[in-house]
Amino acid sequence: MSESILRRNPRQEWILRNRLHPQHQALLHQQASSEPIEWIGPQGVKRKAPHRVGFIGPKGIRRIDRSGGQQGSASDASRQAATASMSKPLHCIENPKHRILVVPDMTGGRLTSQDKDLLGLAHQLAALQDATSVVALIWGEHKETQLAEAGVDELIQVDDPQCLGFSPDQSLAWLLAVEREYQPSYWLFPDSGLGGGDLGRRLAVELDVHAATGLWQIHPSGDGVQCVCRASASTQDLTRPLPRVVMALAECAEPISDTLHAVNQLTLAAEPVQPIVRIQDLGSVAVDPASVSLAEAEFILSGGNGVKDWDGFHETARVLGATEGASRVAVDDGFMPRDRQVGATGTWVTARVYFAVGISGAIQHLQGIQSCDKVICINTDPGCDMVKRSDLAVIGDASDILTALRRKVSDLKQEKRHVA
Ligand SMILES: Cc1cc2nc3c(=O)[nH]c(=O)nc-3n(C[C@H](O)[C@H](O)[C@H](O)COP(=O)(O)OP(=O)(O)OC[C@H]3O[C@@H](n4cnc5c(N)ncnc54)[C@H](O)[C@@H]3O)c2cc1C
């Protein structure tokens, strides 16, 4: 009888609610370690305890921290993510009979969300064949730490400095070397302007395959797999048997979320046949950050309803060399164009740094920035969800702080010029 009585500890609940309390972190960890929210049951099935998510609010009502950090800092969130991923079952293909090759874009050295969808698609195809492993082919060094979580069974890393810039002839030579050695059942590329779309088409020509482009769905059918592709400038869908070379659109499949993968290194026995190089890469040129699409931007300065001085905001973006983004309210109010909206109904961004100015952190906005590495914010409200999601939060008026930031940056630039 006594065991069914729920005993509350109001002081502990108060500390759990109060992020600034000195014992907050310690208690949070203690609670997380003693009461796991997810675990793998005896039959290998993932179990969840929905009642353990969140914390008890001041009115005795359970509150859920929508930032994903469970009232903790970003490092807590990543620690929780690491613990959760360690508890996932390992998907292991010992001696693969077939291989599916995925060539991700890896913008900024990390998987884009389209790359992750593509790995999900590869696993859908792998499930239709016996002992099939999903292989990712990556050019040079990368910074991705989530290859195992994203579904990479095997990895081919091409360390050829000539392939790091735009060198389609050299890259194609490597793909043909992989083709000769492993004979993959399918080649999957993201149908994007970041490299995958171009390289995939070149490979299809070389292999004499009528490639599927703009693919967004596959259906297993009696005599093989059918694919649905966008055609006629995306006005029509075209259904056809799935060819060996595929260029797929974003959201073509669900990314992998339930399993961990081995990421075994594969090597190539033979070097590629040296191609006739027709294109010479003369290096990168500086581009106007304002013209970079949000999905590709590495550094985003995003403005919301709390921005009162929009001229100052645009000037700060220029000084910092950041691409501009916005919340839906800022777009609806006409301060920013629609294509700059970040969030569930705007663009899902994968920036290395996301700088949110005067944005409260509504769930629809936070969904769009969940893949960003570091989040910085300026807000007058220390309790808002964006502050909880941020790695660094500056509490104060956005106009004053952006003015001080611009002044600091120009001082630093001047100092640098003097030293040079
Ligand atoms: C179906 C649906 C889809 C949606 N999709 C999206 C989406 O894709 N993207 C999106 O962003 N929203 C989306 N929304 C809207 C979303 O729910 C929020 O209304 C919106 O994100 C809020 O924008 P905001 O944070 O700029 O404004 P507010 O919520 O008004 O927040 C303004 C913030 O600025 C701070 N502030 C005020 N003055 C200052 C100052 N002087 N200095 C610094 N900070 C200050 C305030 O403390 C506050 O935190 C969607 C809503 C729905 C219903």
Nearest atom in ligand 1 to the alpha carbon of residue 368 is 8
Tokens of 168: 């389609």
Which of 207, 232, 266 is a domain's end point?
266
Within a domain: residue 275?
Answer: no
Within a domain: residue 280?
Answer: no
Residue whose C-alpha is closest to residue 402's, from 319, 339, 333, 289:
319
Total number of residues shown for the chain: 420
* Sign of the alpha-carbon dihedral angle for 32, 33, 35, 41: positive
307 and 165 in a common domain: no
Within a domain: residue 279?
Answer: no
Which of 60, 86, 112 is a domain's end point?
86
360 and 321 in a common domain: yes
Within a domain: residue 274?
Answer: no
Within a domain: residue 209?
Answer: yes
Q: Report CA(66)–ligand 1 centroid distance (Å).
A: 14
Q: What is the pLDDT of residue 71?
A: 40
Q: What is the pLDDT of residue 53?
A: 63
163 and 74 in a common domain: no
Which of 66, 86, 106 is a domain's end point?
86
Tokens of 15: 């500390």
Q: Report CA(198)–ligand 1 centroid distance (Å).
A: 38
Q: What is the pLDDT of residue 199?
A: 94
Burial status of residue 90 (CB atoms within 10 A of its CB: 0-12, 13-18, 19 or more): exposed
Domain of 186: which CATH number?
3.40.50.620
Within a domain: residue 273?
Answer: no
122 and 8 in a common domain: no
164 and 60 in a common domain: no
Q: Report CA(96)–ligand 1 centroid distance (Å).
A: 49
Nearest atom in ligand 1 to the alpha carbon of residue 305 is 26
Distances (CA, A) of 268 to 98, 144, 174: 16, 22, 9
Within a domain: residue 271?
Answer: no
- How many domains would you assign to the chain? 3
Residues with CB under 6 A from ligand 1: 304-306, 308, 327-330, 341-346, 358-360, 362, 364-365, 368, 378-381, 384, 397-398
Which residue of 309, 324, 328 sits with most ligand 1 atoms within 8 Å of its CB, as the best mutation to test the pocket? Answer: 328
116 and 261 in a common domain: yes
Q: Report CA(352)–ligand 1 centroid distance (Å).
A: 21
210 and 158 in a common domain: yes
Which residue of 302, 324, 360, 366 sits with most ligand 1 atoms within 8 Å of its CB, as the best mutation to test the pocket? Answer: 360
| Ligand 1: residue whose CA is nearest its atom 11 | 327
Which residue of 359, 387, 388 sits with most ligand 1 atoms within 8 Å of its CB, as the best mutation to test the pocket? Answer: 359
The per-residue b/e assignment along 248-260, b for 16 or more CB within 10 angstroms, e otherwise, is bbbebbebbeeeb
Nearest atom in ligand 1 to the alpha carbon of residue 386 is 49
> In the chain, how long is the greatest CA-to-CA distance?
82
3-state secondary structure of 287: coil
253 and 110 in a common domain: yes
Within a domain: residue 385?
Answer: yes
Q: Report CA(390)–ligand 1 centroid distance (Å).
A: 15
214 and 129 in a common domain: yes
For residue 258, give its domain range: 90-266
| Ligand 1: residue whose CA is nearest its atom 41 | 397
pLDDT digit string (tens) for the chain, length 420 residues: 444 566 677 777 777 777 666 677 777 767 766 666 666 666 666 677 666 666 655 555 666 655 444 444 444 445 555 555 556 888 888 899 999 999 999 887 888 888 999 999 999 999 999 999 999 999 988 888 889 999 999 999 998 888 888 889 999 999 999 999 999 999 999 998 778 899 999 999 999 999 999 999 999 988 789 999 998 888 899 999 999 999 999 889 999 988 999 999 999 888 888 888 888 888 878 888 888 889 889 899 999 999 999 999 999 999 999 999 999 999 999 999 999 999 999 999 988 899 999 999 999 999 999 888 889 999 999 999 999 999 999 999 999 999 999 999 999 988 888 877
Taking only the tens place, the pLDDT of each residue in 191-214 is 987 788 999 999 999 999 999 999
Q: What are phi and psi of 40, to 5 degrees?
A: -95, 125
| Ligand 1: residue whose CA is nearest its atom 45 | 306
Q: Strands of 73-198 (E only): list them.
A: 90-91, 98-102, 132-139, 154-158, 186-190
Q: Report CA(361)–ligand 1 centroid distance (Å).
A: 6
Which residue of 357, 379, 386, 394 sits with most ligand 1 atoms within 8 Å of its CB, as the best mutation to test the pocket? Answer: 379
Nearest atom in ligand 1 to the alpha carbon of residue 344 is 8
Q: Report CA(326)–ligand 1 centroid distance (Å).
A: 9
**Residue with tokens 């509504």, as numbered in its chain:** 362
98 and 176 in a common domain: yes
245 and 330 in a common domain: no
Nearest atom in ligand 1 to the alpha carbon of residue 359 is 25
107 and 78 in a common domain: no
